[in-house]
């Protein structure tokens, strides 16, 4: 008997061939219909989401996880608005990257083309369902979605809404598939779906990403966990630093670009550290520091080695005193996840040393790590934030969902 994964993989592959010849206008029409349908169906979507939230509360899920799952009127409207913005973005498919005119009359063109069928494995956030589906359709890709059991009802409702919209357009409904069986075996089956999948993108915590990277035989576009740091150098401006640190930690602590660790120069800490960490404590942040921090602050908890490796996704932050920018860089290379790293300093030479030396997808000087986001970078909603170096890095917008193809035009040429 054919499994759900195999069946939907076959349907998605067939749909991807149809998508190859769809125009930008046809794709944009479908996206507009989806944006409209989400608003029409929002009461149903929110009601189904409430089932996920109720189950999550019964299972004792932390507030940060429930926040990632939660959909309300504002969030559904935001998803719809994001799709309208996506419609306005340039379609990269067909873009000419290179043209070679050969002496023998051959014309060689290198153009962007869809990847084909994208597999998405993700946790918690049902908004990823819409982001992945719409970004894939904009770039002419079919998509197979496999969300987690924690958002099962929400994901089914969202894909049903997308399908209702696609039935009003020339885009095949089979272009968006949801694996409804959330058993772990369906994930493992996707790992090896090479006959139908062209790429697999995991989006979630470190455990999920490591599992996909280590076990999948399908090519993987790795989106990494975000153990993000801010290094506060000796010359950092206090007002800028307090504003950036509080924003990076508290603006939305449950996301991967939130800061999880502060590294502070000892001279700056002696002058401003108590004021900064007290401000963060008053903002609801639990401070987990090394011995120097705990000696200076009675509200700080003593950090362990595990704290420096942890992506809290919560109102917690680890704090360590480091002697200079080089020690900060060394710490980041040991504990970081190549996501987003920041330095606060008024010394341009030190800033340049940090920015050039730190191995991360995004590096910041005097700005919050919270900006590592497809929308903030002008890409619209991103499919994820890649922490690898091939074939995409950082927020992955539309161009990251394409490959290249050579188109060669001749007039009877043969190779001698």
pLDDT value of position 111: 98
pLDDT value of position 188: 92
Query: What residues does 108 pair with on adjacent strands?
Result: 100, 408
Alpha carbons 226 and 341: distance in angstroms, whole number = 9
Write the CB contacts of 304 (distance below 8 Å, at least 6 apart in sequence). none
Alpha carbons 268 and 325: distance in angstroms, whole number = 13
The mean of the pLDDT values for the chain is: 95
Instruction: Return averaged pLDDT per consecutive 10 residues of the chain, 416 residues in all.
Output: 94 98 98 98 98 97 90 97 94 97 97 98 93 96 97 98 98 98 92 97 86 94 90 98 98 93 98 98 98 96 97 95 98 97 98 98 98 85 84 91 97 94
Q: Can you tell me whether residue 405 is helix, strand or coil?
A: strand
Domains of the chain in start order, with CATH, are 4-223+396-409 (3.40.605.10), 228-371 (3.40.309.10)
pLDDT value of position 381: 66
Following DSSP, what letter does each residue of 195-216 receive, concatenated?
Answer: TT-SEEEEES-HHHHHHHHHH-
Q: For residues 296 and 274, is the Cβ–Cβ distance under 8 A?
A: yes
Structure confidence by residue, pLDDT tens digits, 83-134? 999 999 999 999 999 999 999 999 999 999 999 999 999 988 899 999 999 9
pLDDT value of position 303: 97
């Amino acid at each position: 008997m054919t499994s759900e994964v195999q069946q939907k993989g076959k349907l998605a592959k067939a749909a991807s061939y149809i998508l190859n010849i769809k125009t930008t206008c046809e794709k944009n029409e479908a996206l507009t219909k989806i944006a409209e349908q989400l608003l029409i169906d929002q009461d149903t979507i929110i009601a189904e989401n409430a089932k996920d939230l109720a189950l999550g509360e019964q299972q004792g899920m932390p507030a940060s996880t429930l926040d990632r799952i939660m959909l309300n009127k504002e969030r559904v409207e935001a998803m719809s608005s994001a799709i309208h913005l996506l419609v306005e973005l340039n379609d990269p498919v067909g873009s000419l990257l290179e043209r070679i005119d050969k002496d023998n009359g051959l014309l060689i063109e290198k153009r962007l083309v869809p990847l084909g069928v994208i597999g998405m494995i993700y946790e918690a956030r049902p908004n990823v369902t819409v982001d992945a589906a719409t970004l894939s359709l904009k770039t002419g890709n079919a998509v197979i979605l496999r969300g987690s059991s924690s958002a099962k009802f929400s994901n089914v409702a969202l894909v049903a809404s997308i399908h209702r919209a696609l039935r009003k357009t020339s885009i095949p409904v089979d272009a968006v598939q949801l694996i409804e069986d959330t058993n772990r075996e369906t994930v493992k089956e996707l790992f090896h779906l090479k006959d139908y999948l062209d790429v697999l993108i995991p989006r979630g915590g470190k455990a999920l990403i490591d599992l996909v990277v280590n076990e999948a035989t399908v090519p993987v576009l790795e989106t990494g966990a975000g153990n993000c740091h801010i290094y506060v150098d000796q010359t950092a401006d206090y007002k800028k630093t307090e504003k950036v640190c509080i924003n990076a930690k508290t603006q939305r602590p449950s996301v991967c670009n939130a800061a999880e660790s502060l590294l502070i120069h000892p001279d700056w800490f002696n002058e401003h550290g108590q004021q900064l960490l007290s401000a963060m404590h008053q903002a609801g942040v639990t401070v987990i520091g090394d011995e120097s921090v705990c000696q200076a602050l009675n509200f700080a908890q003593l950090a362990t080695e595990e704290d420096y490796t942890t992506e809290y996704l919560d109102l917690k932050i680890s704090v360590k005193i480091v002697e200079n920018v080089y020690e900060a860089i060394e710490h980041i290379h040991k504990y970081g996840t190549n996501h987003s790293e920041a330095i606060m300093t008024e010394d341009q030479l030190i800033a340049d040393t940090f920015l050039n030396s730190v191995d991360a997808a995004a590096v910041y000087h005097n700005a919050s790590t919270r900006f590592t986001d497809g929308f903030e970078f002008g890409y619209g909603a991103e499919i994820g934030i890649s922490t690898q170096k091939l074939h995409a890095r950082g927020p992955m917008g539309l161009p990251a969902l394409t490959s290249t193809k050579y188109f060669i035009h001749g007039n009877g040429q043969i190779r001698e």
